[in-house]
Amino acid sequence: MTKDERLQWFEATLEQAGMRRTLPRRILLRLLAASERPLSAQDIYEQTESDINLVTIYRTLNELTRLELLIRTEFGEGFYRYEPAPGPSDTDHHHHLVCDSCGSIADFEGCMVDAMLTQTTIPHNFQVASHTLTLHGTCERCQTSPK
């Protein structure tokens, strides 16, 4: 899924949900789609140079997460980070590598959890819809020069 396809899907989903295509929403989606790593509300606030009210950012993030256009994750920092969802027909998703030393967050492609789950007995007849996997450890930079 290219960046343009993603933005198009975003706009189509907004329309389909009867939501207006406003400036804050488009700026925010564009920002998240372009980002290398999950962004917090504060991150977005700073990157938009305060053009968008922080409250609007929170409200927009909630709306877009509800529409499943965004994924919300907490990495042990005390606040949430958001990133674009994989997309509807996209079975591909990624997870994250969190450096416990410097706090950097990198993507980790090639998830094998779904394959793993087919070989595992899930207790209580629990019906799995999705999963979150986060690997904690030390990034390359911090291995050579620890903070």
Partner DNA sequence: TTCGGTGCAAATACTTTGCACCCTT
Partner DNA sequence: AAGGGTGCAAAGTATTTGCACCGAA
Cβ contact 37:75 at 8 Å: no
Q: Confirm or reject binding of residue 55 to DNA (CB under 7 A).
A: yes
Q: Confirm or reject binding of residue 146 to a copy of itself (CB under 8 A).
A: no
Strand 80-84 versus strand 39-40 pairing type: antiparallel
Instruction: Output 67 or 106, the one with its CB closest to a copy of itself.
Output: 106
Q: Confirm or reject binding of residue 145 to a copy of itself (CB under 8 A).
A: no
Cβ contact 97:106 at 8 Å: yes
Instruction: Output 23 or 34, the one with its CB closest to DNA.
Output: 23
As given in the structure block, the two tokens for residue 84 are 């674009």
Which one of a copy of itself, DNA, none is in contact with 102 (Cβ closer than 5 to 8 A by kind)? none
For the segment 98-127, give every residue that binds DNA (CB under 7 A).
none
Q: Confirm or reject binding of residue 119 to a copy of itself (CB under 8 A).
A: yes
Cβ contact 21:11 at 8 Å: yes
